[in-house]
Amino acid sequence: MKHGTSSVLKVGCILLLIFLFGALVLLPQPVRAQTVTATVDVGNSPTGVTVTPNGEYAYIANGDSESVSLISTGAPVVSVSPFFWTMDVGQSTTFTAAASGGSGNYIGYQWYVNGVAQSGATALTFSYSPASTDSYSVTATVTDSLDLTSAQSTAATVTVNSALVAPIIWPSLGELERGQTSNLSSSSVTTGTSPYTYQWFESAPTTESYVTVGSNSDIFSFITSSSTAFGSWRFILQVTDNVGAAVNSSAAFVIINPTFPPTTAPTPTPTSSPSTVPTATQTVAPTPTITEFPTWIILPLSAVVMLLSAVFIRRRIPKKNFTFFV
């Protein structure tokens, strides 16, 4: 019985040891820095060189300063950020390079667009403002103090959309009276980078400044009341796209006219109709009476008038002497 028990214990111990060994193997091992210990002779010039086992770095003794320099045996590497970018024509963005590796200082950079070196773009940062819509790649290289130049970085992708164009707005009623409503609408926005946000502005007749009104919509209802100021109201719509570009529409005008009460003629007071219709009375002017003279008076008067006329004519004609020959 004892022999059986000891066999079981031995087997259990062996299994436990196997489990512990497997766990140690599977656990992640700490990364140890590669350290090189070497003896170099320091004289009037570099007389000792030691290279790390992986060949990545070299230690060179500097005799004049009695020091040791650490030099990378590989070229530097570089990355750029941002890695993805979307913008509109007319906008610009700045890319930044991040170098590592190499030796000494980084003495210069070179930026590329679609693999073409950009003239004068040799700084740590690069401001890019594309002139047309397209998809572009931006890369960079870096050069260290040993004049070793890195390969081009992984490309950053730039998507360029068309420039944002201001919409056209118009009112449903250009003139109205207090208490009426005019609805302002906008043409469709298809340029720039969607989605868009909208903001309406209005200016009262007595002011030059604008105030924000309405919500995030391409339509706005101008609702008037009994206290709305008379005159010309101005409205502007500002559109902002998804990459921060903003444009303002031209102003639309709505005129509030004063309301005058209607003019009405007085209503005559009705009178009761008479039971009988009165008969119109017509006044006739009397016919003038013509007095007739008797004939026995008219004839003598006519003779007298003729005689007087002959005498008058006789006196008016000058006398002349006539000689007759027989």
Q: Residue 61 is part of which domain span?
A: 40-73
Non-local (6+) Cβ contacts of 172 within 8 A are: 182, 183, 184, 185
Domain boundary among 27, 56, 73: 73
Q: Is the pLDDT of residue 231 over 60?
A: yes
Q: Is the pLDDT of residue 304 over 60?
A: yes
Mean pLDDT of the region 133-145: 96
Instruction: Tell me if 131 is assigned to some domain.
Output: yes
pLDDT at 313: 67
Distance CA 10, CA 238 (A): 85
Instruction: Tell me if 252 is assigned to some domain.
Output: yes
pLDDT at 74: 76
Mean pLDDT of the region 52-60: 60
Mean pLDDT of the region 185-205: 97
CATH number for position 85: 2.60.40.10
Mean pLDDT of the region 118-126: 97
Q: Which of 20-29, 78-87, 143-152 has the highest mean pLDDT?
A: 78-87
In one-letter notation, the amino acid at residue 34 is Q
Sign of the C-alpha dihedral computed for residues 221, 222, 225 and 227 taken in this order:
positive
pLDDT, tens digit (0-9, with 9 covering 90-100), for 157-191:
999 999 999 999 999 999 999 999 999 999 999 99
Same domain? For 82 and 131 the reply is: yes
Instruction: Tell me if 62 is assigned to some domain.
Output: yes
pLDDT at 41: 46
Task: For the beta carbon of residue 7, count every other beta carbon within 10 angstroms.
Answer: 10
Domain boundary among 99, 134, 161: 161
Confidence of residue 34 (pLDDT cuts 50, 70, 90): very low
pLDDT at 207: 92
Distance CA 84, CA 138 (A): 10
Instruction: Tell me if 192 is assigned to some domain.
Output: yes
Distance CA 242, CA 54 (A): 49
**Cα 25 to the chain's mean position, in Å?**
64
Q: Is the pLDDT of residue 44 over 50?
A: no
Residue pair 169/249 in contact (Cβ under 8 Å)? The answer is yes
**Cα 70 to the chain's mean position, in Å?**
57
Is the model more confident about 230 or about 317?
230
Domain tally, the chain: 3
pLDDT at 296: 62
pLDDT at 49: 64
Instruction: Tell me if 233 is assigned to some domain.
Output: yes
pLDDT, tens digit (0-9, with 9 covering 90-100), for 239-273:
999 999 999 999 999 999 998 766 666 666 655 55
Over the chain, what is the mean pLDDT?
80
Domain boundary among 108, 141, 161: 161
**Residue 104, burial from CB neighbour count under 10 angstroms (0-12, 13-18, 19+):** middle
Same domain? For 144 and 130 the reply is: yes
Instruction: Tell me if 200 is assigned to some domain.
Output: yes
Same domain? For 134 and 175 the reply is: no
